[in-house]
Amino acid sequence: MDEATRLREIERLGVLDTPPEPVFDAIVAAARAATGMPIGLVSIVAEQRQWFKSSIGLGDVSETPRSISFCTYAIEQDALLEIPDARQDPRFAHNPLVTAGPRVRHYAGIPLATAHGARIGTLCLLDTLPGVLSPSQRELMVHLGRVTTQVLEQRSALLRQIDQAQALHRDLKRSEDFLERTNTAAKVGGWELDLATREVRWTRETKQIHGVRSSYQPTFESALSFYRSDSRSIIQAAVQRCTEQGTPWEVQLPMTTADGRSIWTRVVGTRQQVEGLPRLVGAIQDITEERAVVDALEASEVRYRRLFHYSLGLICTHMLDGTVTSVNPAAVQSLGYPESEMVGRSLCDLMPPEKREAFKAYLRRIEANHTDAGVIELLAADGTRRYWAYNNVLDTETHPPFVLGHAQDVT
């Protein structure tokens, strides 16, 4: 792949010059722990510089000129590049990174190839002493390199999903009429619930999403029947809060259509006065394609679950209302729930009742301070209590903002 195409792939991923993220630091920490090498990096090789998405052991250095980078050589091949002693290698013997600065001797870097085959950077390790990786350590680096590219692709897809969600919200806010609001948004159906008669109305798009005929007349109970029992309780609780308190809501849940398709939906709702009568109105969107990248990452996690279980901390993301949007295998293992039963649920639902007020206080703190650390108590699937020591940060560059959570099971 030519250089221009490679640089376009870096731009597509949208990772260059972004803040540190716990998931990349966790991958680098795992590589360092497995090899004993003191310096670990996730590097992106741009046009004139080598920039570090994650850097552990190199101090405050965030980038170096590409002209002196080892990784420039690593991305020229498919396999792991290992330099046992840079002083003995004519390519690096006079490199300022070898003769001064960190005084690199041992280098090992696995190129990061995107979904389109472009090698955009490396997961690499550095040591000030000569050395050689064992076969098992080399294999580990290959696996971690693949996981790093999966995370980069997943991150890019999630950013696109957020952009799509922002566009949807803008469309909804511009429209005041129920039918106009739902008909102007692509692949979005509308629904309406009369609180006095409990009559339900669906637009044509909503019926298509559910896989029913245009003549289908839904009821509140039949509308709920498309969802699993645990998802029904989430919708019922949201409807009750909206009815009694006027609290708008938005959830993402799996459902099975009348024609047997398993899809993911985003459902939003709010209370309004329509012709003088109280009603709940909202929209439903088929987001199955947006969820496909999550399923791809889950398939990858199955392959490397054992490696992550022992190498990485507990990583998840959640919204400011506590709704979990992603979770890593180590966290799944810690609590014993399937990933499908954690994503889309509030962390509050996984806590002992007496701890839920403290969780709400945590949400207020992290919204105000953009960071929070401490210990939370969760209920595992088998009923036991698990204690997570966490250090979380709020990503305010997205809309809506979400929390990047990193924790250790200290039970």
Q: Tens digits of per-residue pLDDT, 196-251?
A: 888 999 988 889 899 999 899 999 999 999 998 888 999 999 999 998 898 998 99
The pLDDT of residue 1: 64
Same domain, 278 and 136: no
The pLDDT of residue 171: 67
Q: Is 8 helix (H, G, I), strand (E, B) or coil?
A: helix
Same domain, 133 and 179: no
Same domain, 126 and 181: no
Residue 71's domain spans which residues? 3-159
Among 40-54, 146-160, 283-297, 301-315, the range scoring the smallest mean pLDDT is 301-315
Same domain, 30 and 135: yes
The pLDDT of residue 6: 94
Please give the model's pTM, rounded to 2 decimal places.
Answer: 0.44
Domain-embedded: residue 299: no
What mean pLDDT do residues 94-123 have?
94
The CATH number of the domain holding residue 113 is: 3.30.450.40
What mean pLDDT do residues 110-116 have?
94
Same domain, 268 and 215: yes
Percent of the chain with pLDDT over 70: 91
Contact (CB, 8 A) for 63 and 52: yes
The pLDDT of residue 205: 87
* Residue that is last in its domain, among 255, 289, 323: 289
Q: What integer best gives the mean pLDDT of the chain?
A: 88
The pLDDT of residue 304: 47
What mean pLDDT do residues 380-389 have?
92
Same domain, 134 and 273: no
Token pair in block for residue 47: 């046009």
Give tens-digit pLDDT for 142-158.
999 999 999 999 999 88
Domain-embedded: residue 166: no
Same domain, 381 and 331: yes
Among 21-25, 161-165, 381-385, 407-411, the range scoring the smallest mean pLDDT is 161-165
Domain-embedded: residue 285: yes
Residue 300: pLDDT over 90: no
The number of distinct structural domains making up the chain is 3
What mean pLDDT do residues 67-89 have?
95
b/e map of 154-190 (b: 16 or more CB within 10 Å)?
bbbbbbebeebbeebeebbeeeeebeebbeebeebbb
Domain-embedded: residue 305: no
Confidence band for 362, pLDDT divided at 50, 70 and 90: very high
Domain-embedded: residue 349: yes
Give tens-digit pLDDT for 41-74.
999 999 999 999 999 999 989 999 999 999 999 9
What mean pLDDT do residues 74-103 have?
94
Same domain, 343 and 369: yes
Domain-embedded: residue 59: yes
Residue 369: pLDDT over 90: yes
The CATH number of the domain holding residue 282 is: 3.30.450.20
Confidence band for 297, pLDDT divided at 50, 70 and 90: low
Same domain, 144 and 241: no
b/e map of 358-374 (b: 16 or more CB within 10 Å)?
ebeebbeebeeeeebee
Same domain, 258 and 326: no
* Residue that is last in its domain, among 159, 190, 225: 159
- Euclidean distance between CA atoms 306 and 194, whole angstroms: 50
The pLDDT of residue 175: 56
CA torsion angle for 26, 31, 35, 37 (degrees, to 10)?
Answer: -80
Same domain, 69 and 103: yes
Domain-embedded: residue 307: no
* Residue that is last in its domain, among 127, 159, 191: 159
Q: How many CA atoms lie within 13 A of 280 on its CB side?
A: 28
Same domain, 151 and 96: yes
Contact (CB, 8 A) for 233 and 346: no
Contact (CB, 8 A) for 13 and 152: yes
Domain-embedded: residue 332: yes
Confidence band for 299, pLDDT divided at 50, 70 and 90: low
